[in-house]
Every structure is written in structure tokens, then in C-alpha cells.
Amino acid sequence: MSEGHDAGQTPQDHGHEHPKHELSHYAKRIYAIRDLLIEKGVITDKDIQCQIEYQEARSPANGANLVARAWVDPAFKARLIDDPKAACAEMGIDATSINEFVVLENTEKVRHMVVCTLCSCYPRPILGRPPDWYKSFNYRQRAVNDPRGVMREFGLVPPDDVEVRIHDSTADIRYLVLPLRPKGTEGLNETALAKLVTRDSMIGVMDPLSAVPPRS
Amino acid sequence: MPRGHHDVGGLPGAGSIDQTDHQLSDWEVLADAVNQALGARGIKRTDEMRRAREEMDSAAYREMTYYERWIASIEAILIEKNILTKEEIDRKLTEFESKWGEP
Amino acid sequence: MNLRAGKYRAGDRVTVKLEDRPGHIRTPWYVRGKSGWIERVYGEFLNPESLAYGRDGLPRRTLYLVAFNHADIWGKSVGAKDKVLVDIYEHWLDPAA
């Protein structure tokens, strides 16, 4: 086995985090499983490297770029809603590994929110890995019966006459919320707009940042 | 058949959402990558992994972290498919532990 | 998406089967026995209940986006228009009475 890799390569025996002997039962076992699988030729070290790089290349910036383009270009927005995978391809975002992809458009009258109560499915090829809170039992339990309570924790309080639509993604469909463009952003270009689009606004628990971030 | 321990939508008693995010440890990045690599090679399907997690001990399911559950289900499915045995994983781990040592 | 016609169309009222079968089920407990309507027809997919056991997932099943009024599932709702939407396979749905 190789030794002394740099950060960003296959995690080997760095030991600069927890010393390995302090890891939990299953945390330790993945090292044994990995070595055995490679020894037996089931997967290769390169397979693992490729997956790590693939995952590192995916982040909420992809989604933010889609949203910002949709905000400035109504024709692109229509294409994004009609055929999200094709719209991703237009922008050089590789969404091919998603089986089906649906974009949920927020309006003044409708707010969408997404959960996977059964296991934490998430549009990883677009947004990267889900945040810890999305995978938590508290979110998985409460998102479907108390979506407004969850939104309130993230600072979003839609009026009672706004329709809140909570999607439980139980099958192969992956959902991305297209948040509402904040007021007062008419002068901003696409790059500046993308900075307002947070990961959490594309899950639907909060609105995007406003045009002028509050001074702390 | 009782409600599965994974089927948690609407269960009472949930508290506030802890919004802190943690940087993945090396072993979590590895678990993620091994899982994806096995899928890419057609060794296992996501549906099989989910089913393995549903078959886990319910107390363990609630106590384990997200990636610990992934590793447990990777192991269960590899054993079920006769790709690895528990004994050889145990043996390999014992080898590692003697290398990793104790302080 | 593969949009070969399934049994239901958008707008049809449906009730989720109140069943308790073993195996890998992707119909959450909280919608079983509840009534809503078809919001979208997603087309045919391999059946996860079969894939989960290493089988081929055939025959494909039609998947629907089923919408429910929040209060119809939970008994009450803060927002009168609030909805819960779940992706459900055809074999878990009956026409609503």
C-alpha cells in the first residue's frame, strides 16, 4: 500500500485526524474493507480516487449558477424547469448520474421544501454532499409534519396564506428548489446573483440572501 | 410487520435542527468513495444498501452516525454477496490494529 | 422520462393502500390510508422493492407525484393551503372512494 500521500489523494494512513486506533468500530472497518476489495480486484485504488475527485467537484455553486442564470434569462428558466438535465448540460454541469431531476419554482405565493424522510436522498451531482442537518433524524421527522417550524428555525416565516409544499423524495426523482429572486437585485449581474443563492435556499428551508447583506 | 426504524417521517419527539456542519473525516470520505465505486462497478445497487440499513438492529440504527451506517451496510451487502467474509474483514482489521498500535 | 400511460392521470383522486407488507418499501408510513390526488405522472421505473434484493426490478411500475392537503395527513395545518407531496408507485394506490 502507498504511504505519505498529499491531501486530496486517497486518504491513507495520515493519522493527522483521529489516530486510527481511536476510531469507532465501523470507522476502522472501512479501511479493512477497502484493502480487501482492492486485493481481490473488486475495485481499484483509482476507482476510489476518481470518486473522491468527482465528489469534490460538486458543490452548491453548481446549483447557484443554474439559479442565477434562470433569474436573468427567462428562456433559460423555462428550459431549466422543462428539462433540468439538458439545462445543466448547457452550463457544463454533469447531471447525467441523476435518474430524474425536477426543479420546483418558488413564487410569491408558493414555497417549496425538500426532504427524504426514509434515508436522506439528495441531488448530490448538482449540490454535492448534503449538510449534516438534512440527514438528521430531527429534520427527517419534522420536515413533513412541521415544515413551517423548520423554516422558522432557518429564519423563514411565510405568511399563512402562502402555500408551503413539502416534497418527500422517496423514489428516483431528485428535487432542486428554484428560489424567488430577492427584491432590489435588478442591478446585479449573474455572478453577483449566484452569491445570494445559498445551498439551504435550494433545499427550501430559507430564502436566498437579500441584495444587501446586513452588517454585523 | 412493525413500522421500519428508517420510516421516521412525522414521528413525534423531534427537537430543533442542529445546523452545524462537520468537515468529513478521512474514513467518511473513504466510505463515501467505496460506496460510489461499488455502485459504479455494478457490484451493488443503492436499493440494496438502503434495505441493508433497514435490516440493521434498530437501536444501532439510531445511535450510529450517517457514515457508520453506510459502512455497516457496505459490509452486510458484501458478505451477503459472498464477496467478502466477516472473518477476513476481522483478520485484516486485526492486522491494521496491531500496526496502528496504542499510545 | 418514460411516459407510457399508467392507470392514473393528473387530477385523479387516490388513496394510499393501508397495507403493512414486509420488505423494502418506499411508501412512508405517514401516508398509508391517506387520500390525495395525482399531481404529476412521472412515468415508469424499475421497482425498488425488487431491486433491493438483487432482483431485476421488472416489471416497471408507474411512479406518481401524489399531493395531499397537510391537514388531511396531520389533522391540522398552520397554512390552509399547505401540501405534502410524495413520490408513490402505482401498486400502492387505489382510486379514492
Q: Give the model confidence (pLDDT) of A138-179 as tens digits.
A: 999 999 999 999 999 999 999 999 999 999 999 999 999 999
CATH number of residue A117's parent domain: 3.90.330.10
For C19-50, the pLDDT digits (tens) are 988 999 999 999 999 999 999 999 999 999 99
> What pLDDT is recorded for position A6?
34
Domain annotation covers residue A209:
no
CB A182 within 8 A of CB A194: no
Partnered with residue C40 across adjacent β-strands are C65
> What pLDDT is recorded for position A7?
34
> Among candidates B89, B78, B79, B72, which has minimal Cα distance to B44?
B78
> What pLDDT is recorded for position C4?
59
User: Which of residues A53 and A9 earns the better pLDDT score?
Assistant: A53
Number of separate domains in chain B? 1
**Beta-sheet pairing, A163-168 with A110-115:** parallel
Domain of A199, in residue numbers: 60-203
- Grid cell digits, residue B29: 470520505
* Domain-wise residue ranges, chain C: 13-95
> What pLDDT is recorded for position B2?
79
Domain annotation covers residue A213:
no
> What pLDDT is recorded for position A133?
98
Closest residue, chain A, to C81 (C-alpha): A163
Confidence of residue A13 (pLDDT cuts 50, 70, 90): very low
Closest residue, chain B, to A41 (C-alpha): B83
Answer yes or no: is pLDDT of A10 > 80.
no
* Cβ–Cβ contact B9 with A under 8 A: yes
Domain annotation covers residue B33:
no
C86:A162 CB<8 A? no
For B3-58, the pLDDT digits (tens) are 999 999 999 999 999 999 999 999 999 999 999 999 999 999 999 999 999 999 99
Q: What are phi and psi of A63, to 5 degrees?
A: -65, -40
Domain annotation covers residue B73:
yes
Number of separate domains in chain A? 2
What are the catalytic residues of A?
116, 119-121
- Percent of all residues in chain C with a pLDDT value above 90, rounded to a whole number: 89
Domain annotation covers residue A13:
no
Q: How far from each other are the two terminal CA atoms of chain C, in whole angstroms? A: 30
For C52-63, the pLDDT digits (tens) are 999 999 999 999
Chain A residues with CB within 8 Å of chain C CB: 99-100, 117-118, 144-145, 147-148, 158, 160-173
> What pLDDT is recorded for position A211?
76
Q: CA A111 to CA A35: how far, in whole Å?
A: 47
Q: How many CB atoms lie within 10 A of CB A185?
A: 19
Do A35 and A111 reside in the same domain of the chain?
no
Do A37 and A108 reside in the same domain of the chain?
no
Question: Contacts for A209-216 with beta carbons within 8 Å, 24 or more apart?
Answer: A209/A182, A210/A182, A210/A183, A210/A184, A211/A182, A211/A183, A211/A184, A211/A185, A212/A184
Answer yes or no: is pLDDT of A214 > 80.
no
Answer yes or no: is pLDDT of C1 > 80.
no
> What pLDDT is recorded for position C3?
55
Mean pLDDT on A175-193: 96
Answer yes or no: is pLDDT of B103 > 50.
no
> What pLDDT is recorded for position B48?
97
Beta strands in chain A (DSSP E): 100-105, 110-115, 163-168, 173-178
Do A48 and A146 reside in the same domain of the chain?
no
Do A42 and A65 reside in the same domain of the chain?
no
Q: Mutation test of the interface with chain A: which of B24, B93, B95, B99, choosing the one with the most A Cβ atoms within 10 A?
A: B93
Sequence-distant (6+) residues with CB within 8 A of B71 are A26, A27, A29, A30, A33, B31
> What pLDDT is recorded for position A8?
35
C30:A148 CB<8 A? no
Domain annotation covers residue A8:
no
Q: CA A151 to CA A132: how far, in whole Å?
A: 16
Confidence of residue A209 (pLDDT cuts 50, 70, 90): very high
Domain C13-95: CATH architecture, name and number where available? Roll (2.30)
Among A39, A56, A73, the domain boundary falls at A56
In angstroms, what CA-CA distances link B12 with A139, A146, A159, B9, B78?
A: 12, 11, 25, 9, 35
Do A27 and A69 reside in the same domain of the chain?
no
> What pLDDT is recorded for position B101?
76
Find the range with the poorest average confidence among A3-12, A18-27, C7-16.
A3-12
Question: Contacts for B84-93 with beta carbons within 8 Å, 24 or more apart?
Answer: B84/A33, B84/A36, B84/A37, B84/A40, B88/A36, B89/A29, B89/A32, B89/A33, B89/A36, B92/A32, B92/A35, B92/A36, B93/A28, B93/A29, B93/A31, B93/A32
Report the 3 state secondary structure along chain C.
Answer: CCCCCCCCCCCCEEEECCCCCCCCCCCCHHHCCCEEEEEEEEEEECCHHHHCCCCCCCCCEEEEEEEEEHHHHHCCCCCCCCEEEEEEEHHHEEECC
Answer yes or no: is pLDDT of A3 > 60.
no
A165:C82 CB<8 A? yes
Domain annotation covers residue B76:
yes
For B70-83, the pLDDT digits (tens) are 999 999 999 999 99
Confidence of residue A96 (pLDDT cuts 50, 70, 90): confident
Q: How far from each other are the two terminal CA atoms of chain A, in whole angstroms? A: 50
For A16-49, the pLDDT digits (tens) are 467 888 899 999 999 999 999 999 999 999 999 9
Answer yes or no: is pLDDT of A120 > 50.
yes
SS3 A129: coil
Q: CA A168 to CA A174: how far, in whole Å?
A: 10
Residue position matching grid coordinates 426514509: A118
A118:C45 CB<8 A? no
Domain annotation covers residue B82:
yes
SS3 A173: strand
> What pLDDT is recorded for position A14?
41
Answer yes or no: is pLDDT of A86 > 60.
yes
A163:C81 CB<8 A? yes
Domain of B46, in residue numbers: 40-100
In angstroms, what CA-CA distances link B23 with A125, A131, A136?
A: 19, 10, 16
**Helices marked H in B1-103:** 26-40, 46-54, 58-63, 66-80, 86-100
